[in-house]
Every structure is written in C-alpha cells, then in structure tokens.
Structure 1
Amino acid sequence: MQDRYEEALSRIAGKYRRTAETAAEAGIIPYQSADGKWITSPYDGNSWWTGGFWPGLMWQLWVLTGDGFFRQEARRAEKLLTEEFRSFRLLNHDVGFMYLLSCGADAKLTGDPQAETDTLHAASLLMGRFNPAGFIRAWNEPDRKGYAIIDCMMNLNLLYRASRDTDDPRFRQTAGIHADTTLREFLREDGSVSHIIEFDPESGKRIREHAGQGYALGSQWSRGQAWGLYGFALAGRHLREEKYTEAAKRIAGNFTAHIREDGLTDCDFCQPPEDERIDNIAGAIAACGLQELAAQTGEDTWRHQAERLVDGMLEHCADWGKGRCGILTRCTASYHDDGAGRNTNIVYGDYFLVEALMKLCGKDPELWS
C-alpha cells in the first residue's frame, strides 16, 4: 500500500513542478485552480486566511524532492504574506494558518533568522486577539467581537511554537485557556463540534451558537469536525494533557462513522441525502488528524481510517490531467455557496492531501510544530 502513496507523491510533485511555475510568473498566491490556471483568493487579497497553504505545500514538496524550485517558490509567497503585516486590519485569528506554514516552515527547515522573527511577529498578533474572558477572537467586525470558531484550534499551533522558541510560557498558557473554552463550549455529547460560538466579550458567558459554513444550525459541517479532530489531537501533543487527546478521539469516532463507502466526505454530515455535496478538504484534514491520534495512542485503527480517506480521494478525486493546475477535486468551501468555491480544486485541499501522504510514507516534516 505504501508504494501507492509514494507513487502519488511523486506524481503530485511532478505536476506541481510544472504548474507552480505559472503562479510564480503571475506573481500570485494561488487559492484554487480552474480552466487550467491558478486563481487568487476570493476576498481580502493576500490577507485571505488560506495564503499560508501554498508556501506550506511548496515546503512539503521541497522536503520530498530536494528541488530548490519549491523552496524558491515558498519564499516568494512568504514575502507576499509578510508584506500583509503592514495592512494589519485585514489579519485575524488565521495568522496561524498564514504564517506557521510559511515563515514558520522556513525557520524550522532552514533556520532562517528573519523567518523566525516573522513567525514570532505573527504569534504576537494572535496573542493580541486573546480576550481574557477566555477565548481568542475570530474576526474583526464590530458585531463579531464575541465570536470564536472551531478552526482556531489549528491556529493555536503558532502559540505552542512561540512558547517553545522563546521559552516563554505565556503563549502556551493562552492557547490552553482557549482550548479549554473550546472543549467546554464546542464539543457536543455525540462527539460532533459546533462551528461558531458567540460569547459575551465582557463576561465570557456563552450567548448562542451560529450555523456558520454548515447545512444548518446544530448540524455537523464536516470540515469543522476535521478542524476539531486535528486541533485537539495537536493540543494533546503540545499541552500534554490527556483530556485533549480524549476529545480528539471522541470527534474522530463521530467523523469516521460518517465516512462514505467510497471513502469521500460529505460537506455536512446532516445534509439531506438527496443533496450530494462533497468536501474532500475535510477528509484530507481528518486523515492528518487521525494519523496524529494513531501516533499518540498507538491505536492502529486511526491510521486505517486515515488510509480509507486517502484511498477514496486518490481513487475517485485525484486529477492528474491538464484541466486543473492542482490535484484534489470536489472540494467545497461552504455548504451554502459563499463565493469561495464549490465542487472544485482548492489549494488547501492539496496541502492536506500531501501532508496526509507524507505522514503515511514516514516523511512528514511536521510543520504544525
């Protein structure tokens, strides 16, 4: 089976070696591919939250191949992202996604001192979003000052990294407070998680849940489930508390119970059966989180479930032709169309597919740490 994963990685690297050159020529950070070309983010320019996945993907491919082009392309995108520090007001809690996989990867893999400084700069911005009432504020709009979202469990990795690199516990302690709030307020009895919870920004008291990018209020947006699974698994590793690993296992049990027979992932686990809407990004993220769980617990069942997801994506949704620049098809940003892409290739789907494959092949550079 591993030979198949090695072959898939080789084919991905070969295709990206060709198509990434067009992104460099265009001077953009790709968000998705369509009609044989790369397309930039739908909103907020290079401050859009997904910008770090392109350089993160390039760093993964550099580790895999040693080809200096991928390092060069990662740093080209990294420079565009660090220029966004000056815009500031468009940045939000997703600086973890943006800068840990770009500057953070550069610093980890090459030791570049400026990249390390930029990583700590981003961590300080994330710290600045912490509300002492107990949560990290998600977005910037005045009417959303009490909003926190499940995605932020992944952004916490930037804070774990900052505490390790500075030997300053404040970053890690802040991450722990937010993780505890998420554990208490987002995790449901059935092992599913909410997407958005609104808190009173003064008291920290829960006000209400919002439907977010899922099918409906109280449903199970699959990518939110995957963020929770992987985010809590990584919290278990970095914060070294079993309660987070146990939370990840509960979410994983619920997630794997909803994997389709073909190995693909519905956009929302509560969506109407007649409405087939797939989000392979969720499956790819979950495949990474499940392998993190397997590594922590020694329970092979989680790796087998990750293989189910990866096998389904490779068999049914890997595009090796020239119609798209990327690989993974049938990716969906939101159940209800928000203009960010439906049933298409989206770059961070490719990023997590490659990360999952690198883990399966024992080659993962562990960019989240």
Structure 2
Amino acid sequence: MTANQAWLEATYQKIIAKVAAERERIGAGIPYISKDGRYDDKSNDITWWTNGFWGGLLWQLNHATGDEAAAETARGLETKLDQAFLEFKGLHHDVGFMWLPTAVADYRLTGSERSLQRGLHAAELLAGRYNPRGKFIRSWNRDRAGWVIIDSMFNIQLLYWATDALKDPRFKFIADDHAHTVMENIVRPDGSVAHIAVFDPNTGALVETLGGQGYGVGSSWSRGQAWAISGFALAYAHTHEAEYLNTAKKVANYFIANVATTGDVPLVDFRAPAEPVLLDTSASACAACGMLEIAKHVPALERPLYVNAATRMLKAIADHHADWDLTTDGIVQDATPAYHDAQSELERPLIYGDYYFVEGILRLLGKDFLLW
C-alpha cells in the first residue's frame, strides 16, 4: 500500500467513526452550520437550500459501507422534506440540492417508487421556473424574476436525471438552454466566474452581473468557481457536449492556479483585498469533486493534473482543517458561506463542506456513486 492509499484509508475510517457519532446526536435532524461543537437543526426552516446534504452524506456512506442504519436515518430526513412541497412558496431553484441527495439518491440505490415520485415532483418545480425569453431558470423568488446564480449549475442535474427517468427530453432542453446562458454570461474568458447575472425577464437581455456572496462586482467568489467546475463537469457527464467539459476545465485551471498560492485551501474570494484573510474550505472540497469528475472524461495524460490537484486540496483539509473529535459535530472546519457575512458565520463547519469532503474521499477510493 502506498503512502497515499494509506492516508486515504485512514481518512475513510475516521469519516465512518465521526459520522456514526454524529448520527447518534443528529438523527433525522437537518444540520446546516456548527457552532460551539453542535450542528443546528433546520427542520423548522424546511425550504432551506442545504437541507439535502446530510441525507446525501448518509446515502454515500450507506453505499460505501452497507450500513443500513445510515439509510434509515436518510429516509427519515427525506420524509421530513415532504413538508417543503406543501409550503411551496419558499422553494426556489435549489430543489436540486434538496432532492437529488435525498429522494433521487434513495431511488437510484433502492428503486423506491415513493422516492421517484418525490424526485420528479422536484424536477417539475424546477422546470416550471424556466424563462423562455432569456432561456434561463430563475434562481430566487420575490422581485428577482431575472436573477440567475452560478449555484444553479448543480441544480440542473435534477433535470438531466428527470429526462432519463421519464424518457422525456423537455427537461434536458431546459437544462441545456440554462447551461448555455450561464456559460455565455456568467463564466468569464479567463475562467473566473461571477456569482449573479441579472437579466431583463421580459426580453432576456443581460442587465448586469453582481458579486453576491463574493467580495464585489468583478471579484471571484471561490465557491462560485467550485459550483461551475462541478456543475459543468456533471453536465458533460449527462450530455457529452464538449463545450461543457471545456468550460469545466477552464474554470478548474483558474481555480488550481489561484489555490496554489494559499496552500491548497482557497480564500473566500480570489480577488478580495489582502485583509482580512478569510478561508472557505467548502470551496476546495466541492472543487475537488468537480476535478475528479473532469478526470473521468479527459485523455489519460491530462488526468493527473486534476486528480493530483483534488488530492492535494482534500489532504490539506484532512491534515489541517478537520475535526476528528467524536464528541463534536462537523468534520470540515473553516468553511464560510459568504464574504460579507457576520463574524459569527465565518470559518465554521458547514454541512455541505462535510458532504463534498466525504464525496471526494470516496471518489478517490472508488467507493462513491453518482448522486448528482
């Protein structure tokens, strides 16, 4: 066994022990952010965008280990999310983040008919947000009919799945229209990415781009880069459209160049002022998963660039930004939701940081399954 294989196996065993301990405390609760060593419970905010990640983490480990207790806990969370369908008005484009890691994961692994129905319900809701004038899916609600955010590239994977599940191409048509709109208006020529594009909802014309969760207009929010890397790589996996893979590679190469200057752990924004120094480990965990997806689709001589970069980033988290204490919640430390968040929200464990870290380790071990 090589040193790298030994590190991966040791990390995998730590993950199993940590998540088992967390499962005893969290159960079918819905964790988001950990403060003072305990994850909160978003069960009372049922339409919150991250509410699927704990279920996805459990399904990944169920697939890897065969632990049926993890599956049972994930099913409890999946059932809880039915309330979000009833509330409806709080739902937006992040139905992909909510039901791909829960209902669709359950269906893919077990064939559950009820889970299939939930996934298709979510896909119909997402397709219903399509704007045919601008060829985009609106991201948020309220007065933001023309707003599109880079995070959407993960959510459209739900539409590719729905086309496969129903043999109905209309979902794929919507996803492809949206992906091309994002590619042309949000991804910049140098591989950096804006967080938000605002379109005129009546004409589809681009009005402006905004900094959103990054530092500001024209900046480079690192998790936005990660959403783009993984989102376009997965879109390629579903469609084999070369433009998607080339876009994923362009953004990944930009990310690799920038994260190399900060010890393989990204700043919240690659174009923020030098002070304060704010990290976002969730960005590197997600980007690593995207790079490993890219590696599956490029020629053999290209693969080491992406596999090695992903491995370095995941190892930096495991060695320097992970909490393996079984009595506290949250594996990945120093994740940050947004550059301008309150101090209490900066550099904390976040459930999606844990999810992508676990997915990345399982990918390197060949123990993951296609959740997206």
Scaled to the shorter chain, the TM-score interval is over 0.9
Aligned-pair CA distance for 1:340? 8.4
Which residue does the alignment assign to 1:217? 217
Structure 1, unaligned stretches of length 5 or more? none
CA deviation after TM superposition for structure 1 residue 225, in Å: 0.5
Alignment of 1:60-139 (within 5 A): 60-133=60-133, 134-139=135-140
Which residue in the other structure is 1:49 paired with? 49
**Match in the other structure for 1:358:** 362
1:343 aligns to what? 347
Instruction: State the partner residue of 1:140.
Output: 141
Q: Which amino acid aligns with 2:266?
A: T
Q: How many residues align?
A: 364
Cα separation, 1, equivalents of 2:196 and 2:342: 16
Shift of residue 6, structure 1, vs aligned partner: 1.9
Q: Distance in 2 between matches of 1:249 and 1:36?
A: 37
Corresponding residue for residue 263 of structure 2: 262
CA distance in 1, matches of 2:343, 2:154: 23
Distance 1:339 1:21, change over 3 A: farther
SS of equivalent to 2:286: helix
Structure 2 counterpart of 1:17: 20
- Could you tell me which amino acid in structure 2 is paired with residue 17 of structure 1? A
Distance 1:312 1:152 in 2: 27
SS at match of 2:296: helix
Q: Name the structure 1 match of 2:305.
A: 301
Q: Whole-Å Cα distance in 2 between the matches of residues 155 and 44 of structure 1?
A: 23
Maintained 8 Å contact 1:130/1:136: yes
- Aligned-partner Cα distance in 2 for 1:287–1:206: 31
1:333 paired residue among 334, 337, 345: 337
Q: Secondary structure at the match of 1:209?
A: strand
The alpha carbon displacement at 1:170 in A equals 0.3
2:198 and 2:209 in contact (8 A); partners too: yes
Q: CA deviation at 1:44?
A: 7.2
Give, in whole Å, the separation in 2 of the partners of 1:234 and 1:365.
13
The C-alpha deviation readout for 1:214-233, integer Å capped at 9, x for no partner, is 01111000000000111111
Using the size of structure 1 for normalisation, the TM-score is 0.96
| Deviation (angstroms), 1:180 | 0.6
Following the alignment from structure 1 to structure 2, what is the Cα–Cα distance between the partners of residues 360 and 340?
33
Deviation at 1:32, TM superposition (A): 2.0
Following superposition of structure 1 onto structure 2, how do residues 135-214 of structure 1 map, counting pairs within 5 Å? 135-142=136-143, 144-214=144-214
RMSD: 1.4
Greater shift in the superposed pair: 80-89 or 339-348? 339-348
- Asked whether the 8 Å contact 1:35–1:323 carries over to 2, the reply is no
Alpha-carbon distance in 2 for matches of 1:44, 1:293: 37
Q: 5+ unaligned residues in a row in structure 2: which ranges?
A: none
Q: Say whether the 8 Å CA contact 2:17–2:326 is kept in structure 1.
A: no
SS of 1:345 mapped into structure 2: coil
Contact 2:288 2:309 (C-alpha < 8 Å) held by counterparts: yes
Name the aligned partner's letter for residue 72 of structure 2: Q
Equivalent pair of 1:97/1:154 in contact (CA under 8 Å):
yes
